[in-house]
Amino acid sequence: MAFLALDNLTKSFGSHIAVDRLTLGVEKGEFVSLLGPSGCGKTTTLQMIAGFVEPSAGAITLEGRNLRAVKPAKRGLGIVFQSYALFPHMTVAENVSFGLEMQGIAAAERARRVGETLDLVGLGEFAGRFPRQLSGGQQQRVALARALVIRPQILLLDEPLSNLDAKLREEMQIELRQIQRTVGTTTILVTHDQGEAMALSDRIVVMNHGRAEQIGPPHEAYERPATAFVAGFLGKTNLVNGASVRPERISFAASGLAGTVKTRIFQGNHWLYQVDTADGLVTVIRQNTGEAMPEEGAAVHLAWGAS
Amino acid sequence: MAYLLSLPALLLFAGVVVIPLAMTVILTFHDWGQYKGIEPVFILKNWREVFGDPYYGEMFGRTFRIALIVTVLAALFGAPEAYILNRMKSPWRGIFLLVVLGPLLISVVARTLGWALLFGGNSGLVNKVLLSLGVISGAIPFMFTETGMVVALVHVLMPYMVLSVWAALQRLDPQIENAAVALGAGPLTVLRRIVLPQAMPGILSGGVIVFALAASAFATPAIIGGRRLKVASTLVYDEFLNTLNWPLGAVVAVLLLAALAMIVIGANRLVERRYAQVFG
């Protein structure tokens, strides 16, 4: 049996079914993302694991024991909230120390572990600051440290990077992955950002209307999407002759599907094309290799491998 | 040049606040006699009388004792009320907010008279019922007692505390209690360690408002306390309108204002210094 197992987990609010018979097994040390648009049930699923929302039906087991029978305060899970939910009246060190205090750990041991965890997230020198005096990225690290310091069996991340700007988000993604590898905590991330999910996860669960449309490693879901929704959600895709083809798989060739270049956009490391064909508009992405590329209005032929 | 735009407001402020206030202060140094009325001289007779006669000390003591007890009680009842209100879901929150704030729409006089009708002497409704049932042998002492004044003032001033605490609670991160629970905190620990410290600025600023209003309240002490149990504001009223000893009334009024200003400014400083760093 998996480390954490969700079995036919269901939550309905009145007649609205937020999570519909979700079954998922998460292995120890694994990083799994729940990915989907807003309202797909990913956050509700996380809240049920955390214990803040009572499931309507189904089971949650952690190492074989029934988690639904355990109070939220006793589950021992680390949670990073979208808003971070730091305690504004406590210093960084007090925030991180709170969970250890609740476990009744002695002051000396607490101080040691707080220092250790703050060093892990690179905030060692900010221990005495209040959350208000920190930047968004720093607050995010405090939230992560606060969740990790209690050595949780599972780390739950609820859109933890969505409040950061694009550049910082990328940096934090790399750092988050490194920290997760270092401590080896089983992690479940909830996100609507497919790039983030694919960059961080061992496996992703693509959710829509409360159901898991596909569960698998990111590259597998990307290359062999189970449904049209998964294909569309994980990246740009073309539907040609009923088959789904990724734009970067299409190349300009001497023969193939004939079309005219409608728009051409230069994006630094690649070119983005919209080609008008008999099958409709086809999006093509070509690496920028420095060579001359077809211009707008040019007649081209498109070819792609049979993948 | 832009400062000139504030001139009308400054003139109004000077006209209706600064000048009357200065005149009141000057009035405290004038002489007064039963038959000669007010004499515009500079003497310290009135100040000596107020500081020399223990009657005034007792009266100021009563005023601030009542204000302090009212503030503490309003915080004890108002803060939990605001917390419960904040946790309610619509439409209940709106309905109960109206219930809490509704009394503000009714005149203080009417609200205090309600207490008088319930507890006033042997003919008060509650006393009548309890007497006829044999539960009590005499009327519950309410009118002309400090307890009565405190109860009525808490009732009248509670909405200010509830509003102030509620405003502070609304700034709470909606996930913050969950965050504490996930870290292993029980319900009481969440209240004491997470919610209360964040509600504290609201409780303190609500306390300053309630204290200032209770110490300067007139209608409620006048109705419940009457002439027998005077507080600063009812004493000033009597000196000005019954005894006609304006200079003496002015001394009491100036002292009340100065004491209140000092307490309010001091409390505000304390709140700001303590919380500026944390809540900003």
The answer to whether A79 contacts B182, with C-beta atoms less than 8 Å apart, is yes
Inter-chain contact B184–A81, Cβ cutoff 8 Å? no
The model carries a pTM of 0.82
Answer yes or no: do A50 and B178 touch at CB < 8 A.
Answer: yes
CATH of span A239-304: 2.40.50.140
Q: Where are the domains of chain A?
A: 4-229, 239-304
Segment B193-221 shows an average pLDDT of: 93
Measured between CB atoms, does B204 come within 8 Å of chain A? no
CATH 1.10.3720.10 for domain B60-279, yes or no, is: yes
- Taking CA–CA distances from A94, the nearest residue in chain B reads B193
pLDDT band at B278 (very low <50, low <70, confident <90, very high): low
Kindly state the average pLDDT of the residues B163-168: 94
- For B57-89, how does the pLDDT look when each residue is reduced to its tens digit (9 = 90+)? 999 999 999 999 999 999 999 999 999 999 998
**Could you report the per-residue pLDDT of B225-263, keeping only the tens digit for each?**
888 889 999 999 999 999 899 999 999 999 999 999 999
Q: Min CA distance, B278 vs chain A (Å)?
A: 6
The better pLDDT of the pair B123, B212 is held by: B212
DSSP per-residue string spanning B70-84: HHHHHHHHHHHHHHH
CB contact under 8 A, A87 and B182: no
Residue in A102, A149, A153 to test binding to B, most B beta-carbons within 10 Å: A102
Q: Nearest C-alpha of chain B: how many angstroms from A160?
A: 13
With CB atoms and an 8 Å threshold, state whether B179 touches A73.
Answer: no
Out of A50, A89, A102, name the one closest to residue B185 (CB): A102
> Cβ of A153 under 8 Å from any chain B Cβ?
no
Q: Give me the CATH topology for the region A4-229.
A: Rossmann fold (3.40.50)
What string of pLDDT tens digits covers the 307 residues of chain A?
799 999 999 999 989 999 999 999 999 999 999 999 998 999 999 999 999 999 999 999 999 999 999 999 999 899 999 999 999 999 999 999 999 999 999 999 999 999 999 999 999 999 999 999 999 999 999 999 999 999 999 999 999 888 888 888 888 888 899 999 899 999 999 999 998 999 899 999 999 999 999 999 999 999 888 998 998 898 888 887 777 788 888 889 888 888 899 999 998 889 999 999 888 888 999 998 888 888 898 889 998 875 4
Q: How far does the CA of residue B176 sit from the closest CA of chain A (Å)?
A: 5
